Amino acid sequence: MSPGPIPFRLPLENPRVRIVPSFAALVSTPFADGVNALCWPRTLTGDFAEVVAHVTAGDDIATLDDATLRALPLSPAGRAAVEVLIEDQERLRALGLEPVLDCIQRYPQDDADATVPTDVYSFHADSATVATDTFLCSYTEAASEGLRNEEARRCIDVPDTRAALRREFGGADDEAFEAYLRENCYDLHYVALPHARPFSFGLGNFWRIAVDYPGCPVPPCVHRAPATVTGRPPRLLLIS
């Protein structure tokens, strides 16, 4: 069994991650010198599990808007959590972003026998055609996981995987094959090298991570959603 991600604990001793002291620094610090993840560590007060317990089961992913959050019948600790959840979204909205707060029981998942799984449980880089970043914060349950670029390899650079994708593609045209890889997002997914130890983003910490876009000054941050554990409460995740 794999040992699980390295727990979030300061100092991180991870040259890809830089710790920042505030939200303002999280936003204004440029990605440089190979650093592709910024983290504003926080210990939050409030009962986030109580908020999640009020979200009705049934939907795999339920998006919570501010009105829904405010209408929940909560204890003072639950209400304190709601204030944090709304404040965090307002910080991002003030930047012109459109954050989403999701209560996630499980994400859609590719077939187990897919040559390159392209779901969010697979290590991947987010991508965009224009300069942008991903902001995220986990509030309950298992947190998102990161993987140092040194410990990651693109699936399409693994010879056996590339050969299998080539067979699935079926054509001889190299350019068309490259386009096929991009169209299916195969170029954005990674495998962890045998010695790799993914690291946990931890709960309550606000992260800004680098995205794969033309001209990005650093390699993208490789990350994934943690495995879903049946019977556990949903995760609460802010993403923008």
Interaction site with Fe ion (CB under 5 A): 126
**Hey, is 127 helix, strand or coil?**
strand
Residue with Cβ nearer Fe ion (126 or 141)? 126
Q: Closest distance between Fe ion and the C-beta of residue 73, in Å?
A: 33
Q: Is residue 135 classed exposed, middle or buried when 0-12, 13-18 and 19+ CB atoms within 10 A define those classes?
A: buried
Residue with Cβ nearer Fe ion (8 or 121)? 121
Taking the C-alpha atoms of residue 83 and residue 37, their distance in angstroms, rounded to an integer, is 26
Q: Is residue 45 classed exposed, middle or buried when 0-12, 13-18 and 19+ CB atoms within 10 A define those classes?
A: exposed
Contacts of 88 (CB under 8 A, 6+ apart): 99, 137, 206, 238
Q: Closest distance between Fe ion and the C-beta of residue 171, in Å?
A: 30
Contacts of 62 (CB under 8 A, 6+ apart): 55, 56, 102, 103, 234
Helices 174-183 and 159-169: crossing angle, nearest 10°? 100
The structure tokens listed for 213 are 């876009």
Q: Closest distance between Fe ion and the C-beta of residue 237, in Å?
A: 11
**In residues, how long is the chain?**
240
Residue with Cβ nearer Fe ion (126 or 145)? 126
Residue with Cβ nearer Fe ion (29 or 119)? 119
Residue with Cβ nearer Fe ion (126 or 187)? 126
Taking the C-alpha atoms of residue 224 and residue 222, their distance in angstroms, rounded to an integer, is 7
Q: Closest distance between Fe ion and the C-beta of residue 239, in Å?
A: 8
Q: Closest distance between Fe ion and the C-beta of residue 224, in Å?
A: 7
Q: Report residue 37: phi and psi, to 5°.
A: -145, 130
Q: Closest distance between Fe ion and the C-beta of residue 26, in Å?
A: 18
Residue with Cβ nearer Fe ion (9 or 182)? 182
Residue nearest to Fe ion (CB): 126
